[in-house]
């Protein structure tokens, strides 16, 4: 009651001061236990003095000043009054200055390290709150060192002067906790492996030194208990209980995590009812609802059903519609004796709303039109919440923004809303430099400068939604320079215009000659159907075959010299993959035709057709299975009596038949040198298993062949291999390491030992 009485008295005092002046006759300072405090310490931060009229504003400022000084852990004020005389009493708890600081128990890196983490020295001001904040940094450091149970306690021993204290800190490091195993008890329906898959905590593994996994973290364990509960809830076990984990030491540096589970009963859906629907046919929504539900009372499924109802209203302009459900366990059971729960969905219908205007905020560099052209909503339409989410996804897909959010903002008209898209721009430039080694290119170094959200038509050249990239490669077997630019909205239409200039020196194609390609290309692409694009590419390049070996065959010697190639390539592309680099589902297929020479000019008259398809299937535990197929043919016409060696087909190497040397599968000349064919086919099946966020294990089978005749393949004649590999998914530097053993081989590739293939880049 004392604080309340004090507040009432102060209120009365300040009301009284409005009527007549009250003089401060005495100022004192005490601790909360009544012991006096040196008044000079207080007056260093306050302005109220004896003899002054009381001022509410001045007293408030004095209190704020004392609190902001950092010298006190507690500040209050008491104002006893007798008639027109007033005594001002500051009630404070001064922080102590450290006289001595001692630390015990820090054995890992010594007391000096703990002193550095605490950032405290003799003479610093401390109290319990200060030490609590400092102790957090110490505990976090111990957790990173695999000591999650480390604790830090302290004792403040006040000295006789009342202003200094000796600080004694005791560290208890606890058990070093690298996870040896994560075990469960009481789980009969869901096995240990499936439960572990959902957890952030992982047992220590082969790559833990790189990924940082395998360390017990109590905070992650708290998140994991919720995730484990969700696993059961999504299977209808609504009464599941995930107990407190027990940490069992296995050795001086390893622990087992034992997690008790009480599964309870599995519930099935009984009666389903729908309330609150007035704007749309009740029967239609109820039918849709029942179709979206399964027999098992899965919480995930129930949430999806609620989302379906919200989207039904939201896509028709009824924003702010809310959907909730209530589970009502029943006494009766199903015919099989299973527990049954009735579900009641309640809809609180929103109001119909139209878009008055669309506002973009947060874009400092990116032009409005670059954002607006990606939107799926327009002024005058109803506020379609599904289209709003689609618009957000498109903007995120640009990778220009670290944050995207849309909000319908009410206006003075209850039926009109302004839609505000808020974005936060991020760095869209990249500079990469590195070196590597592959089984094809040997030793290489590269530098790459790339800028997305570029603008070729203005200065500074940013914010236009274009992309530009320069890449230079220098290696023992190749030297490349390439400059690329593209505009995905050429002429403000859905036309993707791309250009490229390049010069490539390749010494890895053959031991008997080198090849240099210098030229450029222009491409124009546009959508024709959902997930389908048509691309048309014109290329003009000078191709030079030089450094032909004296021992080369007449066929290769005939290729020496320079040719001009002018070509046109239409391509139909279908892509439903869920990720452009590391897909887990979907398909990518391309059908590409090529015509060179003839009316296009140049010195190379050929035509060709190529079909390439890859299909991805997600399996259990994030495993992925893919099948890749390729079929191609090429032939000469007109003035050309043969297809030049640089346009022929080859197989073998890290990207095709991995059990064979690069370009070594197919026709060869009399010296055994690969000269390529005019028809080819290839297929591969690959199964990948994630080991961590950056590593995947792969098993694969490759089969294929190149034939000398144009557009003529023999599927009974082939080479094949089987192998294992590792995928290292490092952003900007992905690695593929494969070892493959030939199974079926032609006479030039018949060997029992396997081959190691190393390359940079993603699959297919």
Burial class (CB in 10 A: 0-12, 13-18, 19+), 517: middle
- Least confident range from 72-76, 445-449, 662-666, 730-734: namely 730-734
Higher-pLDDT residue of 693 and 395 is 395
Flag whether the pTM goes above 0.75: no
pLDDT at 216: 77
pLDDT at 21: 64
Residue 375: pLDDT band with limits 50, 70, 90? very high
- Highest-confidence range of 82-91, 355-364, 723-732, 740-749, by mean pLDDT? 355-364
Residue 82: pLDDT band with limits 50, 70, 90? low
Residue 309: pLDDT band with limits 50, 70, 90? very high
Give the tens place of pLDDT for each residue, 8-39.
444 444 444 444 567 888 888 888 878 888 88
Give the tens place of pLDDT for each residue, 413-456.
989 999 999 999 998 888 878 776 666 666 778 888 999 999 98
Residue 459: pLDDT band with limits 50, 70, 90? confident
Q: Is the pLDDT of residue 172 over 90?
A: no
What's the rounded Cα separation, in Å, for the pair 173 and 139? 9
Higher-pLDDT residue of 731 and 580 is 580
Q: Is the pLDDT of residue 7 over 50?
A: no
pLDDT at 3: 44
Q: What percent of the chain has pLDDT over 70?
A: 92
Is 734 in contact with 760 (CB distance < 8 Å)?
A: yes
Residue 716: pLDDT band with limits 50, 70, 90? confident
Burial class (CB in 10 A: 0-12, 13-18, 19+), 416: middle
Same fold, 2-94 and 513-760: no
Is 565 in contact with 596 (CB distance < 8 Å)?
A: yes
pLDDT at 206: 66
Give the start-to-end residue ranges of the domains of the chain: 2-94, 96-172, 178-262, 267-351, 353-425, 513-760
Angle, alpha carbons 500-506-512 (nearest 5°): 150
Three-state SS string over 597-650 comes to CHHHCECCCEEEEEEEEEEEEECHHHCEEEEEEEEEEEEECCCCCCCCHHHCEC
Is 632 in contact with 705 (CB distance < 8 Å)?
A: no
What's the rounded Cα separation, in Å, for the pair 500 and 300? 48
Q: Which CATH superfamily is domain 2-94 in?
A: membrane protein fhac (3.10.20.310)
pLDDT at 576: 92
pLDDT at 35: 83
Paired sense of beta strands 23-30 and 351-352, if any: unpaired
Q: Looking at residues 294-311, what average pLDDT do you find?
A: 91
Angle, alpha carbons 356-357-358 (nearest 5°): 140
pLDDT at 723: 95
Angle, alpha carbons 174-212-244 (nearest 5°): 50
Q: Looking at residues 173-189, what average pLDDT do you find?
A: 84
Q: Which CATH superfamily is domain 178-262 in?
A: membrane protein fhac (3.10.20.310)
Q: How far is CA 543 from the centre of its chain?
A: 42
Higher-pLDDT residue of 387 and 24 is 387
pLDDT at 545: 93
Q: Looking at residues 76-82, what average pLDDT do you find?
A: 76
Average pLDDT along the chain: 86
Length of the chain: 764
Residue 5: pLDDT band with limits 50, 70, 90? very low
Q: Is the pLDDT of residue 681 over 80?
A: yes
pLDDT at 83: 61
Is 183 in contact with 228 (CB distance < 8 Å)?
A: no
> Coil, helix or strand for 77?
strand
Give the tens place of pLDDT for each residue, 152-169.
888 888 887 778 888 888
What's the rounded Cα separation, in Å, for the pair 242 and 222? 10
C-alpha distances in angstroms, 191 versus 198, 241, 559, 595, 681? Answer: 12, 16, 64, 58, 43
Is 630 in contact with 614 (CB distance < 8 Å)?
A: no
What's the rounded Cα separation, in Å, for the pair 743 and 22? 104
Contacts 24+ apart (CB under 8 A), 27-32: 27/87, 27/88, 27/89, 27/90, 28/87, 28/88, 28/89, 28/90, 29/89, 29/90, 29/91, 29/92, 30/89, 30/90, 30/91, 30/92, 31/91, 31/92, 31/93, 31/94, 32/74, 32/91, 32/93
Q: Looking at residues 371-388, what average pLDDT do you find?
A: 92
For residue 16, report the phi and psi dihedrals to the nearest 5 degrees. -65, -35
Which letter does DSSP use for residue 53 in this model? B
pLDDT at 18: 44
Instruction: Enumerate the H helices of 428-585 as residue ranges.
Output: 554-557
Give the tens place of pLDDT for each residue, 207-240.
565 556 677 777 788 899 999 999 999 999 999 9
Burial pattern 332-343, b for ≥16 Cβ within 10 A else e, equals eeeeeeebbbeb
Cα diameter, the chain: 122
CATH no., domain 513-760: 2.40.160.50
622 contacts: CB under 8 Å, gap ≥ 6: 197, 584, 690
| Stretch (H or E) spanning 119 | none
CATH no., domain 353-425: 3.10.20.310
pLDDT at 302: 92
Residue 120 has a CB neighbour count (10 Å cut-off) of 20
Burial pattern 227-242, b for ≥16 Cβ within 10 A else e, equals ebbebbbbbbbbebeb
pLDDT at 12: 46
Paired sense of beta strands 462-475 and 478-487, if any: antiparallel
Does the domain at residues 96-172 carry the CATH identifier 3.10.20.310? Answer: yes
Q: Looking at residues 639-659, what average pLDDT do you find?
A: 91
pLDDT at 259: 93
Name the CATH architecture for the domain at 267-351: Roll (3.10)
pLDDT at 469: 95
For residue 759, report the phi and psi dihedrals to the nearest 5 degrees. -150, 165
């Amino acid at each position: 009651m004392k604080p309340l009485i004090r507040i009432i008295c102060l209120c009365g005092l300040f009301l009284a001061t409005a009527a007549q002046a009250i003089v401060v006759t005495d100022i004192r300072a005490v601790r909360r236990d009544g012991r006096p405090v040196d008044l000079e310490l207080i007056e260093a931060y306050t302005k109220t003095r004896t003899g002054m009229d009381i001022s509410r504003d001045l007293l408030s400022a004095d209190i704020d000043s004392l609190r902001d000084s950092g010298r006190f852990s507690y500040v209050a004020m008491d104002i006893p009054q007798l008639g027109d005389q007033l005594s001002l009493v500051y009630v404070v708890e001064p922080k102590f200055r450290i006289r001595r600081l001692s630390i015990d128990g820090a054995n890992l890196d010594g007391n000096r390290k703990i002193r550095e983490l605490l950032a405290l020295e003799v003479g610093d001001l401390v109290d319990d709150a200060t030490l609590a904040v400092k102790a957090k940094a110490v505990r976090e450091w111990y957790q990173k060192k695999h000591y999650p149970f480390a604790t830090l306690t302290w004792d403040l021993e006040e000295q006789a002067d009342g202003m200094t204290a000796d600080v004694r800190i005791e560290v208890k490091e606890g058990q070093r906790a690298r996870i040896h195993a994560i075990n469960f008890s009481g789980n009969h329906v869901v096995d240990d492996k499936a439960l572990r898959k959902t957890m952030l905590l992982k047992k220590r593994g082969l790559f833990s030194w790189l990924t940082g996994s395998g360390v017990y973290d109590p905070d992650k364990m708290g998140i994991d208990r919720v995730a484990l509960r969700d696993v059961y809830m999504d299977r209808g076990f609504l009464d599941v209980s995930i107990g407190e984990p027990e940490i069992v030491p296995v050795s001086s540096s390893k622990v087992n995590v034992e997690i008790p589970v009480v599964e309870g009963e599995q519930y099935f859906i009984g009666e389903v009812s729908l309330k609150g629907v007035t704007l749309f046919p009740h029967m239609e929504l109820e039918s849709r609802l029942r179709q979206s539900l399964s027999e098992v009372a899965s919480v995930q499924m129930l949430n999806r059903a609620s989302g379906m109802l919200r989207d039904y209203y939201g896509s028709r302009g009824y924003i702010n519609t809310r959907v909730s459900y209530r589970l009502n366990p029943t006494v009766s059971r199903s015919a099989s004796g299973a527990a049954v729960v009735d579900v009641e969905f309640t809809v609180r219908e929103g109001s119909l709303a139209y878009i008055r205007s669309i506002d973009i905020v947060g874009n400092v560099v990116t032009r409005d039109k670059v954002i607006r052209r990606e939107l799926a909503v327009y002024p005058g339409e109803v506020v379609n919440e599904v289209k709003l989410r689609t618009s957000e996804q498109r903007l995120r897909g640009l990778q220009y923004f670290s944050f995207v959010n849309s909000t319908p903002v009410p206006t003075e008209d209850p039926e009109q809303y302004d839609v505000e898209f808020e974005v936060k721009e991020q760095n869209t430039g990249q500079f990469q430099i590195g070196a590597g080694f592959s089984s094809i290119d040997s030793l290489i170094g590269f530098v790459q400068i790339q800028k997305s959200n570029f603008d070729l038509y203005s200065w500074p050249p940013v914010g236009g939604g274009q992309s530009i990239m320069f890449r230079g490669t220098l290696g023992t077997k190749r030297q490349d320079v390439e400059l690329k630019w593209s505009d995905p909205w050429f002429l403000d239409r859905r036309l993707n215009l791309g250009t490229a200039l390049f010069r490539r020196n390749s010494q890895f194609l053959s031991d008997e000659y080198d090849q240099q390609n210098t030229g450029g290309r222009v491409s124009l692409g546009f959508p024709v159907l959902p997930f389908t694009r048509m691309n048309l590419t014109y290329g003009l390049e000078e191709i030079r075959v030089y450094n032909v070996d004296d021992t080369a065959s007449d066929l290769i010697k005939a290729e020496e010299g320079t040719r001009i190639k002018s070509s046109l390539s239409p391509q139909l592309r279908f892509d439903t993959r869920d990720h452009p680099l590391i897909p887990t589902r979907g398909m990518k297929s391309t059908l590409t035709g090529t015509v060179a020479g003839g009316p296009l000019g140049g010195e190379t008259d050929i035509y060709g057709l190529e079909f390439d398809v890859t299909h991805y299937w997600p399996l259990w535990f994030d495993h992925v299975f893919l099948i890749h197929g390729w079929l191609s043919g090429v032939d000469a016409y007109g003035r050309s009596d043969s297809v030049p060696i640089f346009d022929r087909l080859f197989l073998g190497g890290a990207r095709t038949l991995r059990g064979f040397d690069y370009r070594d599968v197919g026709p060869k000349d009399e010296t055994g040198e690969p000269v390529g064919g005019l028809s080819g086919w290839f297929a591969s099946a690959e199964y990948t298993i994630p080991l961590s966020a950056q590593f995947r294990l792969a098993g694969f089978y490759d089969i294929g062949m190149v034939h000398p005749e144009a557009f003529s393949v023999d599927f009974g004649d082939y080479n094949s291999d089987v192998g294992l590999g590792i995928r290292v998914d490092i952003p900007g530097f992905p690695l593929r390491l494969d070892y493959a053993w030939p199974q079926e081989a032609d006479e030039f590739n018949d060997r029992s030992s396997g081959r190691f293939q190393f390359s940079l880049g993603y699959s297919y």
